[in-house]
Structure 1
Amino acid sequence: MSLAASASLYTPAAFARFLALKMVTAATLPATGEIRILDPAVGDGVLLDALVRSLPEDLWPRVQVFGFDANAEAIRIAASRLHRAYPAVGIHLQQEDFLSHMIAMGGADNLFAGLDPDSAFHFIIANPPHVRMQIMGDEEAQRLAEHFGLTGSVDLYYPFLLGIAEVLAEDGVAGVITANSDLTEVSGRSVREALLTRFRIQQVWDLGDTSLFDAAVVPSVLVAKGRHRQVTAQSLVPAIRYGTIRRTDAVAQVQADDVLSAFDADDDTVVSIADGRRFRVRHGAVDNGGDVQAGWHLQTGADNDRR
Structure 2
Amino acid sequence: MLTLVSTLAALGLGAVPPEPIVWYTCPVEPAGPVQRGGGMINDGWDGPGANATTLYWHIENYSNDLPAAQQRDAYIFVLATWASVVQIHFVEIAAPNWNRSIDFRWATGDHCAIEAAECGVAECAFDGPGGTVAHAGFPPGAASVCVNPMSESFAGNVHFDDAELYEQDVGNPGVSLMLVAAHEVGHSLGLIHDEGPGGPHIMRPTVSSADGMQAPSASDIAHLQQGYAAGIGSVTTLEDSGLWVNSAWPGASNGLAGNPFRTVSAAVAALPPQNDGITIHVLGGSYPGSLTIAVPCTITAEFGTARIGH
TM-score normalized by the length of structure 2: 0.28
Higher RCO (CA-CA < 8 Å; seq separation 6+): 2
TM-score normalized by the length of structure 1: 0.28
